[in-house]
Amino acid sequence: MFEIVEFIKKVEGLKLKPYEDKFGNLTIGYGRNLDDRGITKEEAEIMLYTDLAIAEYDLRDIFQNYDELPLELKVVLTSMMFNLGKNRFLTFKNFIRAIKDKDYKKAIIELNNSRRARQLPYRTELETEYLKKLIKE
């Protein structure tokens, strides 16, 4: 099998981002035809867990106390980082400041006044519900 794998790697080449092959098929990796084959549920799960690990790594860079944060807050922050990526997440300066200050009411306002909230109302609504659990009245 090793010989076959090495041959396929050599003739296909590795592309880590999707591209169109010479026949117009969306392709990735070592020639995986996404149009015809797609990915399996197991592959999707691996990709999800990998992306979540990256999101949490990036969040630890921003929130040094990330591991001590309440689960509800981790859910929201990870959802946002997963969705936005680090560079776009960092543009939510007022939201980040509110989180660091534990001002969850302000964080909710900042979250809901964003363009992202208008683009992803359902997701933002769910994230808001999680943040509301942190408000002590």
For the whole model, what pTM was predicted?
0.89
Answer yes or no: is 50 within a domain: yes
pLDDT mean for each 10 residues of the chain (137 residues): 95 96 95 95 98 98 97 98 98 98 97 97 98 88
Q: Domain range spanning residue 125?
A: 41-132
pLDDT of residue 137: 60
Tens-place pLDDT, residues 50-71: 999 999 999 999 999 999 999 9
Q: In whole angstroms, what is the distance from residue 11 CA to residue 30 CA? A: 9
Answer yes or no: is 82 within a domain: yes
Answer yes or no: is 33 within a domain: no
Answer yes or no: is 78 within a domain: yes
Task: Count the domains in the chain.
Answer: 1
Answer yes or no: is 8 within a domain: no
Answer yes or no: is 107 within a domain: yes
The CATH number given to whatever domain includes residue 124 is: 1.10.530.40
**33 Cβ partners below 8 Å, 6+ apart?**
21, 25, 26, 27
For residue 48, report the phi and psi dihedrals to the nearest 5 degrees.
-60, -50
C-alpha torsion sign, points 82, 83, 89, 95: negative
